[in-house]
Amino acid sequence: MAIIVDENTKLIVQGITGKEGRFHTKLMLDYGTKIVAGVTPGKGGTDVFGIPVYDSVEEAKNAHPEANTSIIFVPARFAADAVYEAIDAGIKTIVVITEHIPVHDAMKFVNYGKSKGVTIIGPNCPGVITPGKAKVGIMPGHIFTPGHVGIVSRSGTLTYEIAYAMTKAGIGQSTAVGIGGDPVIGTSFIEALQMFEEDPETEAIVMVGEIGGDMEERAAKMIEEGKITKPAVAFIAGRTAPPGKRMGHAGAIIMMGTGTAEGKIKALESVGVKVAKTPMEIPDLLKQVLKK
């Protein structure tokens, strides 16, 4: 089954005629993702790689009622409107690749999406991949392989590094979700964990966290309460980050003594989650927990 995207994903690419949109559309097509339409205002009636382009998501949805997912490659100042447009057109899964979206814009469209029962991944994320079935994002598809370990990550680059190490070690992935590095995101760490918990194809979970916020501590609480029962391992980035200084992502900042790598590691280890010191240790830790 996997989570969020699979062989039943029918994708609309918003911003398909832009440089990034066009580039990643080709890679998603090559991977086997079913892209049914593109959207760029003013470019309706044209096509990209044989994919019809429409002026609005509503027009695309009317022409392709099977469309159920959208990926957004729209510049930050227009990205919120693009999300609203997709939600109002009835799209139920939206992956927002765009970075530098103002926090107040993200807060509004995330809340609106939740009120409409829409799954939003991102913003400022690499997307979602279910190996061998669909890639809705910008990750290098060739490093992933089908399997039974889910990945939820706050870092795109670390997702790739860990997935590649897993693949080399013969450990495949059910789905890898890059939830995004901004302070406000559509799908949280714990929401993704709950999806993996409910997915029969996922046997174990890799959590890739980083400094800032309390998502990893809340994940530990869910494990403690028995809401997440599948074996999990983790890596937390930012062990040497100085307090008060943002490192990498907008959400990766230690404030008032909270959000430290040490605190997150302690919380996870206290509920039995093995935490790797380096990303390369993840495959060995997975082999340990999968034997139990």
pLDDT of 181: 85
Residue 241: the pLDDT is 52
Contact call for residues 179 and 247 (beta carbons, < 8 A):
no
Give me the pLDDT at residue 259, please. 75
Quote the CA–CA distance of 205 and 191 in Å, as a whole number. 13
280 to 40, 163, 176: CA distances (angstroms): 41, 10, 17
∠ CA(186), CA(188), CA(194), 5° rounding? 120
**Low-confidence residues of the chain: pLDDT under 70:** 239-258, 292
**CA-based diameter of the chain, in Å?**
57
The full DSSP string for 112-155 is: HHHHTT-EEE-SS--EEEETTTEEEESS-GGG--EEEEEEEES-
Closest CA to 222 of 252, 189, 254: 189
Q: Is 142 a catalytic residue?
A: no
Residue of 75, 80, 160, 60 lying closest to 120 (CA atoms): 80
Record the pTM: 0.93
Measured distance CA(100)–CA(3) in Å, rounded: 27
Q: What is the pLDDT of residue 164?
A: 97
Q: Which residues contact 58 (CB under 8 A, 6 or more apart)?
A: 85, 88, 89
Q: Please tell me the distance from the alpha carbon of residue 242 to that of residue 238, in angstroms, as a whole number.
A: 9
Give the pLDDT of residue 255. 47
Instruction: Give the pLDDT of residue 275.
Output: 97
Catalytic residue, from 64, 100, 148, 249: name it. Answer: 249
Place of tokens 């943002």: 246
Burial class (CB in 10 A: 0-12, 13-18, 19+), 270: exposed
Q: So what's the pLDDT on residue 260? A: 85
Which residue segments constitute the domains of the chain, with CATH numbers given? 10-121 (3.40.50.720), 139-291 (3.40.50.261)
